[in-house]
Amino acid sequence: MMITILLGTLVVIRLMSVSQMASVLSGEDEDVAQKRDNSMNSIGMMLFMVIGLALMVYMTIKYQPFMLPVAASVHGAETDFLLNINFAVIGVVFFITQVMLFWFVYKYQHNKNRRALFYPDNHKLELIWTVVPTIVLSALIVTGLREWNKMTQGHPDDGMVVQVYGYQFNWITRYSGPDNKLGRSYYKLISDTNPLGIDYSDPASKDDIMTKGNEMHLPKGVPIQFIFNSRDVIHSAYFPHFRTQMNCVPGMDTRFYMEATITTNEMKGITKNEKFDYVLLCNKICGVAHYNMKMTVVVDEPAEFSNWLKGEKKIIDAAPTAELEQNNTTASTVNTEVAL
Ligand SMILES: [Cu+2]
């Protein structure tokens, strides 16, 4: 497609120069031919601008239905608001500069009787185009940074702690239980039955709950502190509907503070889609089955959420006895060097 357009353009350019030479040969004044060429080009530029801008507006409206629905988290609504301000600023500047660019090409096409004005500098103008963008960009960056700090730093003790653990190629979630503390984990303790490498001897791990199945639940209106980890390579936990994304980096904790505001059922009504589901996706090309790293996220009313969590088994109850004992000895030897 691109090659066809490119070759087509080259052919048109060749034809134009051929017709120019032909008109010179036929005795037509070269200046006249040049002038006709220039005016055709400038009209072409204007057409390009009008069609291009019209298509841009049309596509933006036409593809709206394919965009994400309204943000389903507190910070999501705020980031969408900031994003829209950014688009408004960029949009206004884009239209002004593009219209001026093409209009000037048209207006200042070659004219034998016009001489270019020598205009080396204008301090006032330069000051304006330096100071105004500086103020606008600083305002955008500062407001964005404040929002980012809120999402990633929050208050360290704030919210229900939920671990999202990525590995090639799936996700595991762990809930911290009533103590709101995740038990320590260590990579040497990882086994088939202990995929997170949890240290069972740590009291904080006693009430931890690891969810089975490819589904995680979140309560609506409750602040959540996500802790992200990875077993192997860098993954990226992406919850598009909550406008949340964070890298999962092997060997370190990354955090994200969020609060869901719309339950799955409410979102089904908003999107008029009975099959709607929130998702957690991997957004970092992490290997052959990267596309398959997907988990369904269900946002419940807090009461429903507690009921669901009660139905899930504590990790320690599901662990084989032999492993519990062995784990205790291994864990005591590594305790000194481990910290989650
Ligand atoms: Cu991944």
Cα separation, 97 vs 93, whole angstroms: 6
Q: Among 20-24, 49-53, 60-64, 242-246, whose mean pLDDT is lowest?
A: 20-24
> Is 137 part of any domain?
no
CA of 281 to the centre of ligand 1 (A): 8
Those residues with Cβ within 8 angstroms of residue 49's Cβ, 6 or more apart along the chain or in another chain: 98, 99, 101, 102, 103
CA dist 151 to 46, 144, 148, Å? 46, 11, 5
83 or 180, which is more confident: 83
At 135, list the tokens: 């103020």
- Same domain for 212 and 92: no
Note the pLDDT tens digit of each residue in 71-81.
999 999 999 99
Nearest CA-CA partner of 175 in 165, 187, 189, 186: 165
Instruction: Please give the pLDDT value at position 326.
Output: 62
CA of 246 to the centre of ligand 1 (A): 12
Compute the C-alpha angle 73/76/79, nearest 5°.
160
Range of the domain at 303: 158-337
Note the pLDDT tens digit of each residue in 87-99.
999 999 999 999 9
CA dist 282 to 23, 142, 307, Å? 63, 29, 28
Share of the chain above pLDDT 70, in %: 91
> Is 90 part of any domain?
yes
- Same domain for 288 and 220: yes
Q: Which residues surround ligand 1, an ion (CB under 5 A)?
A: 235, 282, 286, 293
Band of pLDDT at residue 115, cut at 50, 70 and 90: confident
- Same domain for 91 and 171: no
Q: Among 58-72, 113-127, 153-167, whose mean pLDDT is lowest?
A: 153-167
Place of tokens 């001489």: 115
Q: pTM here? A: 0.77
* In the predicted structure, residue 174 carries a pLDDT above the cut 70: yes
* Residue 255 phi, psi (nearest 5): -125, 155
Note the pLDDT tens digit of each residue in 304-339.
998 888 878 777 777 776 666 665 555 555 544 444
Those residues with Cβ within 8 angstroms of residue 222's Cβ, 6 or more apart along the chain or in another chain: 159, 160, 259, 260, 302, 305
Instruction: Please give the pLDDT value at position 99.
Output: 94
CA of 265 to the centre of ligand 1 (A): 28
- Same domain for 195 and 320: yes
Q: HSE (CB half, 13 Å, CA atoms) of 25?
A: 6
CA of 69 to the centre of ligand 1 (A): 24
CA of 68 to the centre of ligand 1 (A): 22
Mean of the per-residue pLDDT values for the chain? 86
CA of 169 to the centre of ligand 1 (A): 6
CA of 166 to the centre of ligand 1 (A): 7
- Same domain for 87 and 176: no
Instruction: Please give the pLDDT value at position 192.
Output: 81
Share of the chain above pLDDT 90, in %: 49
> Is 210 part of any domain?
yes
Q: What is the mean pLDDT of residues 154-169?
A: 84
> Is 3 part of any domain?
no
